[in-house]
């Protein structure tokens, strides 16, 4: 019995001693594989080099991108930006889908120089600022993981709830090159009025800019005024379908959201006469 007891005690001592030795050995830190290249997280795209997020301007595979240096609203630091942005006092455009910077071309009817900076005419600055306001509102209304179709529905729903206020009327501003910008900002510009709102054309203009920022390249602000200076009704048209936030609110969504034109009660009872392309700023092209 004594021999058996001694063996048990010795075994226990060995186990305790072994545990003490293991605890005395410094832990070896094993780093996870460092991230490199493009990474998509939460609907945002980042670029990593040796585990570090890129920030600022970066040239990657022959294209120039810009990664945010700090968080903006919902978007975290290091996100590859898209659309129009003001950086160090100059305006730049980054493709709304792929994020690369434009050079030496026209974008949204605005001349972009070879160095990527926009030609800052008064019209260009006003339009760029309007598109930036629209993008900000789209980000507030939608999620980065939303599909384009889901974003479209959310911004349309938002527009159906905008207060109906007649700050401007199309017949009074149609002669101005930037009438769509003027009227969109009745709703988009937080500093334009004590209460942001508008009538049907302002709603259509604001919705047009919002949908453009959702990724729709060809968006038309459409109206039915053959005289050009009468009391027009306005809405948005994409791919031949009507999006009318005012009539959707007053007459129902079925015939005025993504609706075909039809004058027999089973579609948008609208007569499209004039169209302005939100991107190019040109009429009836």
Domain harbouring 145, CATH code: 3.10.620
Reply yes or no on whether the pLDDT at 113 is more than 80: yes
pLDDT for residue 18? 45
pLDDT for residue 34? 83
Q: Do 83 and 145 fall within a single domain?
A: no
25 or 36, which is more confident?
36
Q: Do 104 and 136 fall within a single domain?
A: no
Reply yes or no on whether the pLDDT at 240 is more than 80: yes
Of 57, 90, 119, the residue at which a domain comes to its end is 119
Reply yes or no on whether the pLDDT at 26 is more than 70: no
Beta-carbon count within 10 A of 40 CB: 10
Asked whether residue 5 is assigned to any structural domain, the reply reads no
Q: Do 157 and 270 fall within a single domain?
A: yes
Asked whether residue 95 is assigned to any structural domain, the reply reads yes
Q: What is the CATH number of the domain that holds 108?
A: 2.10.270.10
232-251 mean pLDDT:
98
Asked whether residue 283 is assigned to any structural domain, the reply reads no
- For 259, the domain range is 125-277
203-222 mean pLDDT:
98
With cut-offs at 50, 70 and 90, classify the pLDDT of residue 266: confident
Reply yes or no on whether the pLDDT at 58 is more than 50: yes
Reply yes or no on whether the pLDDT at 64 is more than 50: yes
Reply yes or no on whether the pLDDT at 195 is more than 60: yes
Structure-token pair, residue 88: 């160090």
Asked whether residue 170 is assigned to any structural domain, the reply reads yes
Q: Do 134 and 201 fall within a single domain?
A: yes
The pTM assigned to this predicted structure is: 0.86
Reply yes or no on whether the pLDDT at 13 is more than 80: no
Say how many domains are in the chain: 2
Q: Do 180 and 65 fall within a single domain?
A: no
Q: What is the dihedral of CA 79, 85, 91, 95, to 10 degrees?
A: 70
Asked whether residue 239 is assigned to any structural domain, the reply reads yes
Mean of the per-residue pLDDT values for the chain?
Answer: 90
Q: Do 253 and 132 fall within a single domain?
A: yes
Range with the lowest mean pLDDT among 9-18, 22-31, 72-81, 267-276?
22-31
Reply yes or no on whether the pLDDT at 21 is more than 60: no
Asked whether residue 29 is assigned to any structural domain, the reply reads no
Asked whether residue 15 is assigned to any structural domain, the reply reads no
88-100 confidence digits (pLDDT tens): 999 999 999 999 9
pLDDT for residue 33? 67
Of 100, 119, 138, the residue at which a domain comes to its end is 119
Q: Do 97 and 157 fall within a single domain?
A: no
With cut-offs at 50, 70 and 90, classify the pLDDT of residue 75: confident
Reply yes or no on whether the pLDDT at 6 is more than 90: no
Q: Do 269 and 130 fall within a single domain?
A: yes
Q: Do 167 and 257 fall within a single domain?
A: yes
Q: Do 77 and 212 fall within a single domain?
A: no
Reply yes or no on whether the pLDDT at 73 is more than 80: no
Reply yes or no on whether the pLDDT at 5 is more than 60: no
Q: Do 61 and 139 fall within a single domain?
A: no
Q: Do 178 and 135 fall within a single domain?
A: yes
Of 119, 152, 186, the residue at which a domain comes to its end is 119
Asked whether residue 3 is assigned to any structural domain, the reply reads no
Reply yes or no on whether the pLDDT at 19 is more than 80: no
**Number of residues in the chain:** 285
User: Residue 211, class by beta-carbon neighbours within 10 Å (0-12 exposed, 13-18 middle, 19+ buried)?
Assistant: buried
């Amino acid at each position: 019995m004594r021999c058996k007891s001694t063996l048990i005690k010795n075994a226990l001592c060995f186990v305790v001693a072994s545990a003490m030795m293991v605890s005395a050995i410094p832990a070896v830190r094993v780093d996870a594989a460092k991230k490199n290249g493009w990474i998509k997280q939460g609907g945002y795209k980042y670029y990593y080099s040796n585990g570090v997020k890129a920030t600022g301007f970066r040239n990657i595979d022959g294209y120039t991108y810009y990664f945010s240096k700090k968080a903006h609203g919902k978007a975290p630091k290091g996100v590859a930006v898209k659309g129009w942005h003001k950086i160090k006092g100059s305006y730049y455009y980054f493709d709304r889908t792929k994020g690369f910077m434009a050079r030496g071309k026209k974008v949204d009817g605005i001349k972009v120089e070879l160095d990527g900076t926009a030609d800052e005419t008064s019209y260009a600055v006003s339009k760029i600022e309007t598109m930036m306001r629209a993008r900000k509102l789209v980000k507030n209304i939608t999620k980065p993981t939303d599909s384009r179709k889901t974003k479209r529905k959310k911004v349309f729903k938002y527009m159906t709830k905008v207060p109906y206020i007649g700050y401007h009327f199309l017949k009074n501003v149609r002669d101005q090159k930037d009438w769509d910008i003027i009227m969109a900002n009745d709703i988009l510009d937080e500093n334009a009025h004590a209460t942001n709102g508008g009538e049907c054309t302002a709603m259509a203009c604001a919705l047009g800019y919002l949908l453009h920022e959702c990724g729709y390249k060809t968006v038309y602000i459409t109206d039915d005024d053959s005289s050009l200076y009468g009391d027009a009704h306005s809405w948005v048209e994409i791919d031949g379908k009507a999006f009318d936030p005012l009539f959707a609110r007053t007459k129902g969504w079925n015939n005025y959201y993504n609706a075909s034109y039809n004058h027999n009660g089973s579609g948008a009872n609208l007569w499209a006469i004039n169209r302005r392309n939100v991107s190019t700023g040109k009429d009836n092209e």
